[in-house]
A and B are shown apart, each in its own frame.
Chain A
Amino acid sequence: MNILKKFVIKDLSLNKKRTIVTIIGIMLSSALICAVAGMVTSFQKTLVEYAKQEYGDFHTIIYDIQKEDLGKIKQNEEIEKVLEYEYKGYSNLEASKNEYKPYICLVGMEKELLNNLKLVEGRLPENEDEIVISKHIKTNGGIDLKIGETIKLEVSERISDGYKLNQRTIFTEDKEEILNKIYDKEYKIVGIIERPSTFIEDRQSPGYTVVTLDNKEKTNTSIFIKFKDSKDYKEKTKTILADIENEYECDYNISLLRWEGAALSDSTMSMLYSVSGVVIVIIIVSSIFVIKNSFSISITEKIKQYGILSSIGATSKQIKKNVLFEGFVLGIIGIPLGVICGMFAVFVLIHLMNYILAEALDGIKFMYSVPYLPILITILFSTITIYFSSIFSARKAAKTSPIEAIRNNDEIKIKSKKLKGSKLIKTIFKVGGDISYKNLKRNKRKYRTTVISLVVSITIFISLSSFIDFGFKMANEYYKNKKFNFALYGGPEKNRDTEELFNQIAKSEKINDYSIHKTIQVSVLPEYLSDFGKEYFQDSEDIEERVIAIGEKQFNDFVKQIGEDPKKYENKGILLDNFTYFKDEKKINGNLYNIENNKLTLNLLDENYEKTNKIFDIQIEKRTEEAPMGLEESTGIIISDKMMEKFDYKVNRMYIMSNDTTGLREELSSLKISNPAYEKIGYSDYEEAQRSEQAMVLVVSIFLYGFIAVISLIGVTNIFNTITTNMNLRQKEFAMLKSIGMTQNEFDRMIRLESIFYGIKSLVIGIPLGCIGSYFIYKAFSEGMEMAYKLPITAIIIATLFVFLIIGLIMKYSLNKINKQNIIDTIRNENI
């Protein structure tokens, strides 16, 4: 090995600590870049795979192509793959309970497409006499066809007004359709599949899909096209269609295209990219700091040696090469380690996420893909960072004249004027303080890097921890005071049939308590507004309000709860009145209505919230601010069910306190299968929602805290390098101070003061920046929430303690090293 290389290797191994810390710094930054990029690609891959599973692995679909055109299309060079299927025809399904889906639609698919179907039960068709049926024939159409049965299909064309209709034309009763039989055939049902993608059967398509195998050449094919590269998919499709004479319908697999990045209009993806971009920039900036810092430290330490080398004839090229070699050695160890760590971190995170979010994600599994691109990006970025850091230092090393370098002038040279101490500091902290203060000024540049890395860590910590804080608050706040954990809502009619269904469901053992809300909409006459209400509504005549019945038992409980006798309220209402609004960013709270006359006069509203001018009174004797189960609104008129009977009410919702929301959900879906009428009832599982949201916040906090930890660690390596080498460089000075009689205590005090100066300066900058960051985050969050901004006090305290702890520990470490050394050795070592 060449002597200069040997020189580098020796230097690195002699300064083991610094070398290790630098390698750790490089490693952490590469790991972080790799992890962030890896997460993004894993997410993307997951979404792409999900889209492929859910919608199919294709970019464009073209419907009902004639044979002769198909050949032409297949010749297009941009196409990677074409999969064919055919809508063979319709068959009447008289028993269908869904009036918009009166048919079965037979589809013939080639083998590969069949394999993409999601089998629920049974197997796929293996010949042209077997079919699989879609699950929703039963769940939606209410027809129970079993595996093993044979059905006879009269495969026909749908004709209306002489036009042939297809799956994309919806069935309406206004237009007469006739079925023109093509052939009939018996098919054996061999399996049940999930409802096919909307490309094959749309929500409104009139026929339930059944699929058979058809490998033959088709007369009228629909094709899924997968391009070699999904970019410019629209143009590519247009070119294909322009080349043929006939006009065909086509559609795009937007979900897949979006995740593949071809259709980037989507905000989620671009947000993901921009957020990770910002994160990567932060990482790179801090990495450049560490790496550059450790290089300039290493160069400073060696500047004298470079001076000697240069004075005995080393060219600046040789010195530059030397420094680059040092970077190379550090990089070749640090980067691969970092990449491995980063990949491992992604691996762990993905699995952790799958574990924590299992419920929330509802079957989607995050996938871990070996992130080739991120690895490449990492290597590239880290190499560039190292290269520039080292070339910068190398240039400096090569630029100084040998004798200057030997004297190490540059680092020590400082104008005496600048070194004037502060009188204040001298009186407070004595000579020790004066020396430390002057030293900070002398090493301004290094001191600055230390402070900057501390500031970066502090700022990120404070702002991100309030991000997490707000996130948890949001997730919890919303569910905090709910007296229910499950809600049902009826179909569009909201009529008494719904009430019947609700009552049936209420029999479930999984329900502890429930409240069915029946409502009418009214407008309160303006003269009943209180002063507070008048100020809010100004001159408006439209004071919309709801009259609500909450169920007999609930009503009685509610009346008792507010300390009244239920009997008294059979024909009277209770006014819920606790209104809050924001005025000039200030929360104002009060009662909207004036009930001095013990009544409210109301104008009934119709479905479109128009006044019907049916005016009536409701006796009100009691005003309360406590809402019954399910009511989130701050105002409302609560009446008994008996009273509600007089009105043409709507059945809005049923609020449920369940002991087992998951079980309740299952019960509901089995109800839906046995009776399609339940199909129109929707639900919200708040317990599950809350759990998912908390899990989501948990995952996000794991990410963010991990991120904070690594960024801080990078900062710590940086600080470690700066402080220890700074101490090293000053060893001689320390030894001298001691040799002229500074006691150990005085000396330690001086060093401690120095760390306090470091700490205070970085906190003074970092805390306000962190607060600004946290305020911006609050702003972003508060759009959807009523939350007052709170200074992130805890985070500030933690950051403060942390900063002093870190600096203290590092100082202590280097002090120990210095104190162990013999005074004379130190002085002798540093001879010029």
Chain B
Amino acid sequence: MGILEVKNLKKSYGKGENKVNAVDDISFSVNEGEFVAIIGASGSGKSTLLHLLGGVDRPTSGTVKIKGTDIYKLKSDNLAIFRRRNIGIIYQFYNLIPILNVEENIALPCELDGKNVDSRKMDDLLQTLKLKDRKKHLPNELSGGQQQRVSIGRAIINNPAIMLADEPTGNLDSKASEEIISYLKLSNQKYNQTVIVITHDEKIAKEADRVITIDDGKIISDERNI
């Protein structure tokens, strides 16, 4: 049994003629420790799918099970708690809290859980993400790549079982992209975290264990790289 199981997941917007099936009856499962890339044309429903996997949106129908928990059966508060403990989300546009500095942004999921961040762990993380000398800066004082690294830090601070990343390198040059990918690989290998990445980047897709292609809300191919 996989750590993530998706069954008949559907999400549609609008009604009647305007109806868009952004995610159209998708089923698949992912095993623990897998590194999965999702690719597809613009508007094909990748982001929508990822949001559904992360429990930040509501599906029209279908189920998402993470570690055996049907997350949409949870009450919204329990879902939030589940999210902060088990899921790390990295957005294409970082989504940092603009008024909190680097350190505070990274610490958020931990603090929300009422825990104090282990300062050694924080230092470690800042070191790895090369944000040590930026830790007191506000997000708008950082470059895109730096902001993205902060959001990665925020996603892995709680060692979630699953990391979800929506085009994490979409706005970055190739060098910065490589760095980001290496962090994702690192957490995948070092902490045995399951990583699901949406990407347009061939390189990332190649490095993944498995590539899922989506078109028009449906999975059209699901291949393992050997």
Interface residues of A (CB under 8 A from B): 2-4, 6-7, 10-11, 14, 304-305, 308-318, 398, 401-404, 406, 828-829, 831-832
Contact = CB atoms under 8 A, between A and B. Distances in A.
Given A313-B85, A403-B51, A308 B57 contact: no
B57 A403 contact: yes
Contact of B89 (A6, A7, A10, A311): A311
Contacts of A829: 98, 140
Interface string B151-163: 0001100000000
Nearest to B78: A315
A829 B94 CA distance: 12
B88 to A, nearest CB: 8
A406 B85 contact: no
User: How many residues of B sit at the interface, in one of the four size bands?
Assistant: 20 to 34
A311 B140 contact: no
Contact of A312 (B76, B77, B89): B89
A308 to B, nearest CB: 5
Nearest to B57: A403
A402 B84 CA distance: 13
A352 to B, nearest CB: 45
A365 B111 CA distance: 60
Interface string B44-55: 000000010010
Given A317-B77, A403-B51, A831-B94, A309 B99 contact: no
A66 B108 CA distance: 83
Nearest to A308: B95
A831 B93 contact: yes
**Which of B107, B111, B154 lies at the interface centre, i.e. has the most chain A CB atoms within 10 A of its CB?**
B111
Contacts of A401: 56-58
Contacts of A831: 93-94
B99 A2 contact: no
Contacts of A311: 54, 56, 83, 89, 95
A10 B100 contact: yes
29 contacts: A3-B100, A3-B111, A3-B112, A7-B99, A7-B100, A10-B99, A10-B100, A305-B97, A305-B98, A305-B99, A309-B108, A309-B112, A311-B56, A312-B108, A312-B154, A312-B155, A313-B80, A313-B112, A315-B76, A315-B80, A316-B76, A318-B80, A398-B76, A403-B51, A403-B57, A829-B98, A829-B140, A832-B93, A832-B95
B104 A308 contact: no
Contacts of B99: 7, 10-11, 14, 305
Interface in B91-124: 91, 93-100, 104, 107-109, 111-113
A701 B77 CA distance: 55
Contacts of A832: 93, 95
A367 to B, nearest CB: 50
A315 B100 contact: no
A4 B100 CA distance: 10
A73 to B, nearest CB: 66
Contacts of B111: 2-4
Contact of A313 (B83, B95, B100, B107): B83
B81 A313 contact: yes
Contacts of B83: 311-313
Nearest to A830: B98
B56 A314 contact: no
A832 B76 CA distance: 23
Nearest to A399: B76
A305 B98 CA distance: 8
B55 to A, nearest CB: 8
- Nearest first, the 9 closest Cβ-Cβ pairs linking A and B are A313-B84, A3-B111, A402-B56, A315-B77, A313-B83, A315-B80, A311-B56, A403-B57, A831-B93
A3 B116 CA distance: 10
Contact of A310 (B51, B80, B113): B80
Contacts of A308: 95-97
Contacts of B112: 3-4, 309, 312-315, 318
A30 B104 CA distance: 36
A315 B98 contact: no
Nearest to A832: B93
A398 B76 CA distance: 9
Nearest to A406: B95
A6 B104 contact: yes
A662 to B, nearest CB: 68
A824 to B, nearest CB: 12
Nearest to B83: A313
A317 B114 CA distance: 13
B108 A3 contact: yes
A831 B112 CA distance: 24
A313 B109 contact: yes
B154 to A, nearest CB: 6
Contacts of A4: 111-112
Contacts of B80: 310, 313-316, 318
Nearest to B76: A316
